[in-house]
Amino acid sequence: SKLISEWVTPETAHKWIYDAVLGHTIKTEDNAKCVSVIYANNEKHVDLPIYAEKDGEYYLAIKGKGWIKNNPKKISLWFKERNALSSGSDFRKAVRYLKAWKDKRENDSKALKLFGGFQLSILASDYFPDSYDNLEEMYFKLVDKINNNSWAYPSLENPINNEQDTIEYYSETRIKIFKEEFAKMYEQAKDAYDETDSSKKHTKWTKIFGDRFPEPTDDENGTKNCEAPLVIKGTTDISKTSGRQA
Protein backbone atom coordinates (compact mmCIF):
# COMPACT_ATOMS: atom_id res chain seq x y z
CA SER A 1 0.00 0.00 0.00
CA LYS A 2 1.01 3.61 -0.43
CA LEU A 3 3.05 5.45 2.16
CA ILE A 4 1.10 8.09 4.07
CA SER A 5 3.28 10.72 2.43
CA GLU A 6 1.96 9.50 -0.93
CA TRP A 7 -1.72 9.92 0.00
CA VAL A 8 -3.75 12.81 -1.35
CA THR A 9 -3.57 15.82 0.91
CA PRO A 10 -6.27 16.40 3.54
CA GLU A 11 -7.22 19.51 1.60
CA THR A 12 -7.95 17.41 -1.50
CA ALA A 13 -9.92 14.82 0.49
CA HIS A 14 -11.96 17.59 2.12
CA LYS A 15 -12.74 19.11 -1.28
CA TRP A 16 -14.01 15.76 -2.55
CA ILE A 17 -16.47 15.47 0.34
CA TYR A 18 -17.38 19.16 0.29
CA ASP A 19 -18.18 19.08 -3.44
CA ALA A 20 -20.24 15.89 -3.00
CA VAL A 21 -22.57 17.38 -0.36
CA LEU A 22 -22.61 21.04 -1.46
CA GLY A 23 -26.07 22.33 -2.34
CA HIS A 24 -28.07 19.55 -0.72
CA THR A 25 -28.93 21.63 2.38
CA ILE A 26 -29.05 25.25 3.47
CA LYS A 27 -25.32 25.49 4.13
CA THR A 28 -22.08 23.50 3.94
CA GLU A 29 -18.84 24.34 5.77
CA ASP A 30 -15.36 22.96 5.21
CA ASN A 31 -13.70 23.01 8.64
CA ALA A 32 -10.18 21.97 9.56
CA LYS A 33 -11.22 18.54 10.81
CA CYS A 34 -14.51 17.82 9.09
CA VAL A 35 -17.07 18.96 6.54
CA SER A 36 -20.27 20.17 8.20
CA VAL A 37 -23.66 19.85 6.53
CA ILE A 38 -26.07 22.34 8.10
CA TYR A 39 -29.85 21.98 7.87
CA ALA A 40 -33.16 22.64 9.69
CA ASN A 41 -32.93 26.40 9.32
CA ASN A 42 -29.35 26.49 10.63
CA GLU A 43 -30.31 24.71 13.86
CA LYS A 44 -28.87 21.25 13.17
CA HIS A 45 -25.79 19.88 11.48
CA VAL A 46 -23.98 16.66 10.62
CA ASP A 47 -20.19 16.58 10.78
CA LEU A 48 -18.35 14.41 8.25
CA PRO A 49 -14.78 13.68 9.39
CA ILE A 50 -12.57 12.02 6.77
CA TYR A 51 -10.62 8.93 7.75
CA ALA A 52 -8.12 6.66 6.05
CA GLU A 53 -6.92 3.26 7.27
CA LYS A 54 -3.44 1.78 7.01
CA ASP A 55 -2.14 -1.37 8.70
CA GLY A 56 -5.00 -1.37 11.21
CA GLU A 57 -4.49 2.26 12.22
CA TYR A 58 -6.89 5.11 11.43
CA TYR A 59 -5.87 8.59 10.33
CA LEU A 60 -7.97 11.75 10.33
CA ALA A 61 -7.56 14.33 7.55
CA ILE A 62 -6.83 17.68 9.22
CA LYS A 63 -6.31 20.60 6.88
CA GLY A 64 -2.97 22.28 7.43
CA LYS A 65 -1.76 19.46 9.71
CA GLY A 66 -1.81 16.31 7.61
CA TRP A 67 -3.16 12.82 8.29
CA ILE A 68 -3.22 12.47 12.09
CA LYS A 69 -3.56 9.11 13.85
CA ASN A 70 -7.02 8.96 15.43
CA ASN A 71 -9.14 5.90 16.18
CA PRO A 72 -12.89 6.55 16.63
CA LYS A 73 -13.53 2.90 17.60
CA LYS A 74 -11.22 3.21 20.60
CA ILE A 75 -12.95 6.45 21.60
CA SER A 76 -16.32 4.71 21.46
CA LEU A 77 -14.99 1.89 23.64
CA TRP A 78 -13.53 4.39 26.13
CA PHE A 79 -16.88 6.17 26.40
CA LYS A 80 -18.77 2.93 27.02
CA GLU A 81 -16.27 1.75 29.63
CA ARG A 82 -16.28 5.14 31.36
CA ASN A 83 -20.07 5.17 31.42
CA ALA A 84 -20.14 1.67 32.93
CA LEU A 85 -18.18 3.00 35.91
CA SER A 86 -21.01 5.39 36.79
CA SER A 87 -24.28 4.45 38.43
CA GLY A 88 -27.27 4.20 36.09
CA SER A 89 -25.33 5.48 33.07
CA ASP A 90 -25.04 8.82 34.84
CA PHE A 91 -21.82 9.69 33.03
CA ARG A 92 -23.70 9.57 29.72
CA LYS A 93 -26.38 11.78 31.27
CA ALA A 94 -23.76 14.27 32.46
CA VAL A 95 -22.39 14.55 28.92
CA ARG A 96 -25.91 14.95 27.57
CA TYR A 97 -26.56 17.86 29.96
CA LEU A 98 -23.37 19.63 28.92
CA LYS A 99 -24.21 19.04 25.27
CA ALA A 100 -27.76 20.37 25.78
CA TRP A 101 -26.29 23.57 27.24
CA LYS A 102 -23.84 23.85 24.34
CA ASP A 103 -26.59 23.30 21.76
CA LYS A 104 -28.85 25.92 23.31
CA ARG A 105 -26.14 28.56 23.53
CA GLU A 106 -24.96 27.96 19.98
CA ASN A 107 -28.53 28.05 18.71
CA ASP A 108 -29.18 31.29 20.60
CA SER A 109 -26.02 32.85 19.20
CA LYS A 110 -25.21 31.51 15.75
CA ALA A 111 -21.68 32.95 15.76
CA LEU A 112 -20.81 31.21 19.02
CA LYS A 113 -18.65 28.07 18.86
CA LEU A 114 -17.98 26.30 22.15
CA PHE A 115 -16.02 23.12 22.81
CA GLY A 116 -16.91 19.99 20.85
CA GLY A 117 -18.77 16.99 22.21
CA PHE A 118 -15.58 14.98 22.71
CA GLN A 119 -14.06 17.75 24.81
CA LEU A 120 -17.23 17.99 26.91
CA SER A 121 -17.04 14.23 27.45
CA ILE A 122 -13.47 14.56 28.71
CA LEU A 123 -14.46 17.38 31.08
CA ALA A 124 -17.33 15.24 32.40
CA SER A 125 -14.95 12.33 32.92
CA ASP A 126 -12.20 14.39 34.57
CA TYR A 127 -14.53 16.16 37.00
CA PHE A 128 -17.35 13.67 37.54
CA PRO A 129 -18.44 13.95 41.22
CA ASP A 130 -17.63 11.16 43.64
CA SER A 131 -21.01 11.18 45.35
CA TYR A 132 -24.48 12.70 44.88
CA ASP A 133 -28.06 11.96 45.84
CA ASN A 134 -29.82 12.84 42.57
CA LEU A 135 -29.10 13.96 39.02
CA GLU A 136 -29.55 17.63 39.80
CA GLU A 137 -26.90 17.41 42.50
CA MET A 138 -24.68 15.40 40.16
CA TYR A 139 -24.85 18.06 37.45
CA PHE A 140 -24.30 20.94 39.83
CA LYS A 141 -21.32 19.26 41.50
CA LEU A 142 -19.86 18.53 38.07
CA VAL A 143 -20.05 22.11 36.79
CA ASP A 144 -18.90 23.39 40.20
CA LYS A 145 -15.74 21.26 39.98
CA ILE A 146 -15.08 22.33 36.41
CA ASN A 147 -15.68 26.00 37.22
CA ASN A 148 -13.40 25.90 40.27
CA ASN A 149 -10.55 24.35 38.34
CA SER A 150 -7.86 26.96 37.74
CA TRP A 151 -7.32 26.19 34.04
CA ALA A 152 -6.13 29.27 32.22
CA TYR A 153 -5.45 27.58 28.90
CA PRO A 154 -6.21 23.97 29.78
CA SER A 155 -4.99 20.91 28.05
CA LEU A 156 -7.68 18.28 27.64
CA GLU A 157 -5.77 15.05 27.31
CA ASN A 158 -7.13 12.51 24.88
CA PRO A 159 -8.13 9.52 27.06
CA ILE A 160 -6.85 7.05 24.47
CA ASN A 161 -3.69 8.98 23.59
CA ASN A 162 -2.19 10.89 26.50
CA GLU A 163 0.28 12.63 24.21
CA GLN A 164 -2.53 14.46 22.43
CA ASP A 165 -4.19 17.63 23.67
CA THR A 166 -7.67 17.62 22.17
CA ILE A 167 -7.87 21.41 22.10
CA GLU A 168 -4.42 22.02 20.65
CA TYR A 169 -6.01 23.37 17.47
CA TYR A 170 -8.39 25.70 19.32
CA SER A 171 -7.62 29.39 19.22
CA GLU A 172 -7.04 31.30 22.44
CA THR A 173 -10.18 33.27 21.62
CA ARG A 174 -12.31 30.12 21.43
CA ILE A 175 -10.95 28.89 24.77
CA LYS A 176 -11.50 32.29 26.38
CA ILE A 177 -15.09 32.47 25.11
CA PHE A 178 -15.78 28.94 26.36
CA LYS A 179 -14.52 29.84 29.83
CA GLU A 180 -16.67 32.97 29.91
CA GLU A 181 -19.78 31.12 28.73
CA PHE A 182 -19.18 28.28 31.17
CA ALA A 183 -18.81 30.71 34.07
CA LYS A 184 -22.16 32.30 33.14
CA MET A 185 -23.80 28.88 32.96
CA TYR A 186 -22.35 27.93 36.34
CA GLU A 187 -23.97 30.96 38.00
CA GLN A 188 -27.30 30.05 36.39
CA ALA A 189 -26.94 26.42 37.53
CA LYS A 190 -26.16 27.50 41.09
CA ASP A 191 -29.25 29.71 41.12
CA ALA A 192 -31.43 26.85 39.81
CA TYR A 193 -29.89 24.32 42.20
CA ASP A 194 -30.52 26.55 45.23
CA GLU A 195 -34.13 27.24 44.22
CA THR A 196 -36.70 25.33 46.33
CA ASP A 197 -39.90 26.12 44.43
CA SER A 198 -40.33 23.59 41.61
CA SER A 199 -41.97 25.99 39.17
CA LYS A 200 -39.25 28.60 39.62
CA LYS A 201 -36.62 25.88 39.51
CA HIS A 202 -37.95 24.71 36.15
CA THR A 203 -37.83 28.23 34.75
CA LYS A 204 -34.23 28.63 35.88
CA TRP A 205 -33.06 25.32 34.46
CA THR A 206 -34.80 26.18 31.19
CA LYS A 207 -32.45 29.15 30.85
CA ILE A 208 -29.65 26.59 30.54
CA PHE A 209 -31.29 23.70 28.69
CA GLY A 210 -34.15 25.33 26.81
CA ASP A 211 -37.27 23.33 25.99
CA ARG A 212 -35.32 20.07 26.27
CA PHE A 213 -35.87 20.40 30.03
CA PRO A 214 -39.39 19.10 30.77
CA GLU A 215 -42.16 20.91 32.59
CA PRO A 216 -42.66 19.75 36.19
CA THR A 217 -45.55 17.36 36.76
CA ASP A 218 -48.79 18.42 38.45
CA ASP A 219 -47.61 16.74 41.63
CA GLU A 220 -44.36 18.69 41.56
CA ASN A 221 -45.87 22.11 40.79
CA GLY A 222 -45.77 24.40 43.79
CA THR A 223 -43.96 21.95 46.03
CA LYS A 224 -40.91 22.86 48.00
CA ASN A 225 -37.54 21.13 48.13
CA CYS A 226 -38.20 19.63 44.70
CA GLU A 227 -35.51 17.31 43.39
CA ALA A 228 -35.40 18.25 39.71
CA PRO A 229 -35.26 15.11 37.58
CA LEU A 230 -32.99 16.75 35.00
CA VAL A 231 -34.34 14.52 32.26
CA ILE A 232 -33.20 16.00 28.96
CA LYS A 233 -35.33 15.19 25.94
CA GLY A 234 -33.56 13.77 22.92
CA THR A 235 -30.29 11.89 22.79
CA THR A 236 -26.66 12.84 22.66
CA ASP A 237 -24.70 9.67 22.03
CA ILE A 238 -21.14 10.88 22.37
CA SER A 239 -19.98 7.27 22.23
CA LYS A 240 -20.24 7.63 18.47
CA THR A 241 -18.06 10.75 18.35
CA SER A 242 -15.23 10.78 15.87
CA GLY A 243 -12.94 12.38 18.43
CA ARG A 244 -11.97 14.84 15.73
CA GLN A 245 -11.62 17.72 18.20
CA ALA A 246 -14.49 19.64 16.60
Q: How distant, in Å, are the alpha carbons of 13, 18, 127 from that of 10?
A: 5, 12, 34
pLDDT at 78: 96
What are the backbone dihedrals phi and psi of residue 177, each rounded to the nearest 5 degrees, phi first? -65, -40
Cβ neighbours, 10 Å, residue 241? 23
Q: Which residues contact 112 (CB under 8 A, 6 or more apart)?
A: 105, 106, 177, 181
Q: Residue 54: beta bridge partners?
A: 57
Confidence of residue 132 (pLDDT cuts 50, 70, 90): very high
Looking at per-residue pLDDT, the higher value among 49 and 149 belongs to: 49
CA atoms within 13 A on the CB side of 204: 20
Provide, rounded to the nearest whole percent, the portion of the chain with pLDDT above 70: 84
Q: What is the pLDDT of residues 16-34, one digit of tens each?
A: 999 999 999 989 999 888 9
Query: In sequence order, what DSSP letters do the residues of 128-162 get, joined into one string?
Result: --S--SSHHHHHHHHHHHHHHS--SS---EETTEE
